[in-house]
Amino acid sequence: MKIKFIALLISIILGFFDISFSQLKQMSIGESVPNINLNIRLKDGKETNISIDSLKGKLIIFDFWNRYCASCIALFPKMEKIQEKFGDRVKIFLVTKDSKSDLKSLFEKSRIIKENKLPLIINDTILSKLFPYKAVPFHVWLDEDGRFLAGTDPTSTTEGNIAKYLEDKIVDFPFRFDENSFSVYKKRLIEQEAYTNRLKSLPAYSIITPRSILTAQSPVAAIWDSVSNNISGISIYNETIVGLYSSIMSHVKYDMVKVIVKEEKDSSLFYPPQNEDSLTKWNYLNTYCYELKLPSLYSKYSSNDYDSIMYNKAQSDLDIYFNIKSFREEFFDTCLIIKRIDSKIIKDASGASIYEKTAEGKYYMNNCNMGCINFIISELQRKTHTNYSVIDESGFDNIRFSILLNPIGNYIDLNQELNKLGLGIFFEKRNIKAVVLKMK
């Protein structure tokens, strides 16, 4: 009898938790979050439980990420600085669906993960059900009363936006809606499954839409013809006007190294603001999606001819939509050249490919290639308001390397650090080919 009673009690308890979990539903803006318990891993590796109610009185930020998202991990130091600045008024949690075993290698190899001070929620099933997402990083804000305040991109989680909310209770940035149940907007045509399937059945099409708020696709991808198994088009998501032209240019492998906006006094349509607090809003207003599928009859053309047809069609579409006159131009210009200065310094690296930026501005790169260097240069160009054409003459295409770079504030700093890799940067004149954009 006692055994039966215990068995009954266990089944009731298990049933209660199953029902509780099944009753969890996706939250809508303004709704109070259920008083759930969260299993937290602290910086010393110890674990504890915290309830949502115990966090009331603070602004709560859940930073959703996963082990494959290098950009998520690179943002952790920034989130730590925010936590330190606002202290007890804000509480930030790093949330992942990954298990401890999934993260084992990352904890061993990633410096940012090793040195992370923010509380971790691992193997999450509850928060991701309350706040479902299609892509990471994804940030969720809860107000001091435990209500769902905002779902947004990490570019909105800045010191300025947090201070504005804490002082004036103003949320002045765009929300990101990964599911319709807490969205007041409808999916873009390009995102609707029924419409997408209909597009795929068409022999040819081109479409431009405003920024996607749902898609987790790669920024640039080829469209494949299911019959011929050949590339039949291109798909570009969430790019600036300059980025759309650049993406098409690089996709068809044209020998042009940059896009130039010419004789345009107001560059705000083309280039993002330096003010971090305004970046998310600018992205939502000034980035676009573009898809192009060519008729199958063009598949008989040579690869070069096919690329030319695709580029000309895409260029025409963008010119018409944005009221731009674009043309190709060759000229003599100062370029940033990456050259090899000492072949003995660079060594092949092994292990997982990791690319991280620390709170101090240092770049840690393990088993990376020249693409990492190019990314650092592009970030430095944005920071210094420069727009040099970058030409890689190092010949190190297949070399993998590891390096910890000091804070990069200018091109002298960059050159000193690259010297450690047997590389150097030089500013020299070169004949370059460019796509020039002029507003009509």
Rounded-to-integer distance, Cα 49 and Cα 46, Å: 11
Short-list 187, 166, 168, CA closest to 178: 187
Q: Residue 150 pairs with which residues in a beta bridge?
A: 141
Rounded-to-integer distance, Cα 58 and Cα 38, Å: 16
Burial 205-226 (b: 16+ CB within 10 A, else e): ebbbeebbbbbebeebeeeeee
Beta strand 423-439 with 258-261 is parallel
CA angle 271, 273, 274 (to 5 degrees): 120
Rounded-to-integer distance, Cα 392 and Cα 396, Å: 9
Residue 430 C-beta-side C-alpha neighbours within 13 Å: 19
What pLDDT shows up at residue 371? 77
What pLDDT shows up at residue 162? 95
Could you tell me if 268 and 275 are in contact, meaning their C-beta atoms sit under 8 angstroms apart? no
Q: Residue 426 pairs with which residues in a beta bridge?
A: 337
What pLDDT shows up at residue 182? 37
DSSP-derived 3-state class of residue 31: coil
pLDDT along the chain (440 residues), means of 10: 45 40 80 91 84 95 92 89 95 95 86 89 94 90 95 89 92 70 40 57 85 61 71 85 86 66 77 79 88 84 82 93 91 91 68 67 75 82 81 81 76 89 92 88
3-state secondary structure 214-264: CCCCCCEEEEECCCCCCEEEEEEEEECHHHHHHHHHHHCCCCCCEEEECCC
25 residue type, one letter: K
Cα–Cα distance list, 204 to 218, 227, 319 (Å): 22, 14, 19
What pLDDT shows up at residue 188? 45
CA angle 334, 338, 343 (to 5 degrees): 150
What pLDDT shows up at residue 119? 94
Could you tell me if 385 and 340 are in contact, meaning their C-beta atoms sit under 8 angstroms apart? no
Does the pTM exceed 0.75? no
CATH number for the domain formed by residue range(s) 23-182? 3.40.30.10
How far does Cα 269 stand from its chain's mean position? 20
Rounded-to-integer distance, Cα 33 and Cα 20, Å: 14
Q: Where are the domains of the chain?
A: 23-182, 189-322, 332-432
Rounded-to-integer distance, Cα 14 and Cα 374, Å: 54
Radius of gyration of the chain (CA): 25
Could you tell me if 245 and 435 are in contact, meaning their C-beta atoms sit under 8 angstroms apart? yes
Contacts of residue 307, Cβ cutoff 8 Å, sequence gap at least 6: 252, 253, 254
3-state DSSP: the chain helix, strand, coil percent, rounded to 5? 35, 30, 35
